[in-house]
């Protein structure tokens, strides 16, 4: 009678570890929602700033793309670090309590 771990048991353990790893990965990606990389963020900001420029910076137009489109507000802070609150910003809104900052910020992208 041999004493040891059967190859079948080792394969089941390996399969279990792989399945658990896949489940953890899927849960992580769905709960964090993913974040835009710098190029995707820059592309969305350029698109938004161009739309605002075309609308002549009119109030109530061109709200910043929502979190469902990749959390643009978060990526602005991550890659362009303005230190302001960008939630719900539109083309003529103030950001962080200072006026005219949208046009100044967008001047680097249009």
**What's the pLDDT score for residue 14?**
96
Q: What is the pLDDT of residue 22?
A: 96
Which pair of structure tokens corresponds to residue 20? 């658990």
What integer pLDDT is reported at residue 1 of this predicted model? 54
Name residues of the chain where pLDDT drops below 50: 66-70
Tell me the Cα Rg of the chain: 23
pLDDT given for residue 67 in this prediction: 41
pLDDT score for 43: 87
SS (H, E, C) the chain: CCCCCCHHHHHHHHHHHHHHHHHHHHHHHHHHCCCCCHHHHHHHHHHHHHHHHHCCCCCCCCCCCCHHHCCHHHHHHHHHCCCCCCCCCCCCCCECCECCHHHHHHCCCC
What pLDDT does 45 receive? 83
pTM above 0.85, yes or no: no
């Amino acid at each position: 009678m041999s004493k040891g771990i059967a190859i079948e048991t080792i394969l089941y353990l390996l399969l279990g570890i792989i399945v658990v790893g896949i489940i953890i990965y899927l849960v992580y990606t769905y709960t964090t929602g993913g974040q835009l990389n710098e190029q995707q963020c820059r592309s969305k900001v350029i698109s938004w700033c161009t739309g605002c420029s075309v609308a002549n910076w009119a109030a109530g137009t061109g709200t910043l793309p929502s979190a469902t489109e990749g959390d643009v507000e978060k990526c602005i802070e991550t890659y362009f670090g303005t230190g302001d609150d960008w939630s719900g910003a539109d083309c003529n809104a103030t950001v962080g309590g200072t006026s005219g900052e949208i046009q100044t910020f967008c001047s680097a992208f249009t």
